[in-house]
Structure 1
Amino acid sequence: MDNFFTSVELAEALIELNTTLVGTIRSNKRQLPKQFTSLEAAKTRGLFSSAFCFSGCCELTSYTAKTKKNVLLLSSAHATEEIDSKTGKPKVILDYNKYKGGVDTFDQMLRIFTCKRKSNRWPMILFFNMIDVAALAAFRLHEMIHPDYEAHKSEKRKIFLKELAFELATKQLENRCKTAVKSSVKTAMDLIGFKPPKMTTAPLAMPAIQVKNTKRRCQTCKTHRNTRDNKTTAVCDLCLKPTCSNHYVRACEVCYLHNFKDPDTAVSSESDEENRNDAAPSTSRTQANRRSRVDSIINL
């Protein structure tokens, strides 16, 4: 196991699952004694010397490979101070060198396609590593289930990661298309080959201000002497006459259909009257006055 993952807590947890651990461990771990982590103690022992420490199910081995290099290994699969007579290395070192190819290959495959970015926040570094490991594990599982997947192509892992990233982002892209999209976002969508979904149902045509470049006098302000003469670029969406914000009316669907009488989605006047009577109590003077003001503005 790589020293990024190796720890005493992990070794004890794996033993409970009947799984042993052999791997290098970093010298900055708090559980390690100073006699094993310091280079001065390794120099005192001499070159190619070994030291062993046992605690519970774990064995800690310190091997001086070079003058200024002290190799630390943690193992839960060894419980003796066995040293090979030919090489002079501990048995745990030989076993680690024999089976470490899988870890090195794994790290090499992660470096080829990675999402890691430079960051000073350790949670982000851990998150990037989790994404890389999960993507590689997903590729291996997919390759075992579908052995014929892109068998004639050498970059099948690259193709798989592109398809995986596109599927994970599709839902968010569809939700993004429901709102206003900038030109830069549209360009990015075109680069990845995303096509916005077509609208299955046409949205209901509600009042909307149409804006023109030139400012003109509000048509309603000109007919009222007491009101201020405002200039605006907005026009009414029906008569296309200039209308300022003070005289533009926003209406709900029921009121819009009742006043403007859309022939495609119109409802009967009787049902409209019942809905209005249910929605607005007759005892409320405020709502009645508001409705009368809206009707007077619409009739202008």
Structure 2
Amino acid sequence: MAQLTNIKSNDPNIGISGNIVMTLMKDYLDKGRILYTDNWYTSPALYSLLHAHKTNACGTVKKKSGKNMPKFTEKLQRGEMTFQSSKECLCIKWYYKREIHMLTTNHSYGMTATGKQDRKIKQDILKPDSVLDYNKNMGAVDRSDMLLSSIESVRKIKKWYRKLCFHLLDLCVLN
């Protein structure tokens, strides 16, 4: 527990998860790298700090993610995108099958054809560049979570050790 206390005291503006990212990235800062994060670690304050250290970042963000996140009130049609930006960060809301919110310091607001066609309207599917890059570079954790969601043995259990047991069983089935 002492380690988390030390991490938290580094920079209170980015929170515990942001301080964990900065601790893990300390050897890679100021080298022009790109970091891809999931929604647990994505925040405008963290991304601004990373950008100040010449490290770009891209990641998904929760729809109702706390302070400094822009509010998107528009209802989008399938395939549409809206965005808001600051000096360093670009926040994107894109709707295809569901709403996707992305935060990035590395991309513009452009969209690229995926080479696939929508079955209903027979047009090319366009995706934001940040979504395409994120999907291409996402880690094994996101990929395994995605694959597990299709075979997960859903159980309503209150005991944490039983949930862990069923999760490990699901991982064994996946492998």
TM-score by length of 1: 0.31
Q: Percent identity?
A: 28
Matching residue of 1:94:
132
Q: Which amino acid aligns with 1:81?
A: Y
Higher strand share: 2
Matching residue of 1:124:
none
1:2/1:103 contact within 8 Å kept: no
1:31 aligns with 2:60: no
Q: Which runs of 4+ in 1 moved over 4 A?
A: 105-108
Q: What stretches of structure 2 of length at least 5 have no aligned partner?
A: 1-36, 116-124, 147-158, 161-175
Q: Following superposition of structure 1 onto structure 2, how do residues 73-88 of structure 1 map, counting pairs within 5 Å?
A: 73-78=102-107, 80-85=108-113, 86=115, 87-88=125-126
Note the C-alpha offset of 1:106.
8.3
Matching residue of 1:129:
none
Q: What stretches of structure 1 of length at least 5 have no aligned partner?
A: 109-116, 119-300
Deviations 1:21-79 (A, max 9, x none): 110001222222322xx5xx23xx3111111211111011111022xx2110000111x
Matching residue of 2:77:
46
1:20 aligns with 2:56: yes
Hey, what's the Cα distance between the residues in 2 that align with 1:75 and 1:33? 13
Matching residue of 1:60:
91
- Residues 47 and 107 from structure 1, CA distance in 2 versus in 1: closer, same or farther, beyond 3 angstroms? closer
Higher helix share: 1
Hey, what's the Cα distance between the residues in 1 that align with 2:62 and 2:142? 17
- Residues 16 and 102 from structure 1, CA distance in 2 versus in 1: closer, same or farther, beyond 3 angstroms? farther
1:11 aligns with 2:47: yes
Q: Which amino acid aligns with 2:77?
A: G
Hey, what's the Cα distance between the residues in 2 that align with 1:70 and 1:60? 13
Q: Which has the higher contact order (CA 8 A, sep 6+)?
A: 2
| 3-state secondary structure, aligned to 2:69 | coil
Hey, what's the Cα distance between the residues in 2 that align with 1:19 and 1:106? 26
Q: Which amino acid aligns with 1:47?
A: R
Q: Which amino acid aligns with 1:16?
A: A
| 3-state secondary structure, aligned to 1:96 | helix
Note the C-alpha offset of 1:9.
0.8
Q: Which amino acid aligns with 1:60?
A: C
| 3-state secondary structure, aligned to 1:21 | strand
Hey, what's the Cα distance between the residues in 2 that align with 1:106 and 1:6? 20
Note the C-alpha offset of 1:101.
2.9
- Residues 7 and 81 from structure 1, CA distance in 2 versus in 1: closer, same or farther, beyond 3 angstroms? same
1:23/1:96 contact within 8 Å kept: yes
Higher Cα Rg, which structure? 1
Note the C-alpha offset of 1:15.
1.2
1:61/1:74 contact within 8 Å kept: yes
Hey, what's the Cα distance between the residues in 1 that align with 2:57 and 2:141? 13
Q: Which amino acid aligns with 1:8?
A: P
